[in-house]
Amino acid sequence: MRPADLQFIRDLRAVCDEYGLVLGMDEVQSGMGRTGKLFAYEWSGIEPDVIALAKGIGGGFPLGAVLAKEAVAKHLVPGTHGTTFGGNPLACAAGNAVLDIILAPGFLEGVERKGRKLRAQLDALAREYPQVYEDARGMGLLLGLKCVLPQGEVQAACLAEGLMAITAGDNVLRLAPPLVVTDADLDAAVEMLRRATRRVLPSGAKVAAK
């Protein structure tokens, strides 16, 4: 849940250009508007040579894709790249429907705004409960809370409050709400998270000032 430094991404592009290397990026989780832009790499202002997409691109229907520049794509001739369900018409129709929504005017800007709002709420929660959370991290609507307590305990408390959250590496509780989440939904989720946090708060621990 640690966004790469944007200058690092730019330098990586420069190194690949200098030595004739292919720059590939995994946008399976971070793509399709998750960070507030269609693809996360766009924040750096560079273009990769090939990217992998899945998950969000189908809006819940199984779909994956590989996008490549011509210099790379020309090597993917018949026999070198294939898949049993490649070109599935129903999956592609689902992907087109997803793109209609994501590329609608103002949609991505809304994702970015909601991401900033949720991040601010998570930052405040981490400050308020330092015995449970070390910090908040991530960008857009792909965020996480680095836990002080075992992440599984916090996740179980969230589930008990009706909030579905998943875990990530480095003892992080991961939050990835749907891109169509409303402000009211976010407020309700944060309140559930607050109640879950109180469930696991060590006995005698004091709540920090907001």
User: Mean pLDDT throughout 39-47?
Assistant: 97
What is the reported pLDDT for 82? Answer: 75
The pLDDT of residue 77: 84
Q: Which fold has domain 6-102?
A: Aspartate Aminotransferase; domain 2 (3.40.640)
CB atoms within 10 A of CB 161: 18
Residue ranges of the chain assigned to CATH 3.90.1150.10: 109-200
Residue-wise pLDDT for 64-75, tens only, equals 999 999 999 999
> What's the pTM value of the predicted model, to 2 decimals?
0.90
Per-residue pLDDT of 153-208, as tens digits, reads 999 999 999 999 999 999 999 999 999 999 999 999 999 999 999 999 987 666 66
**CATH match of 109-200 with 3.40.50.80:** no
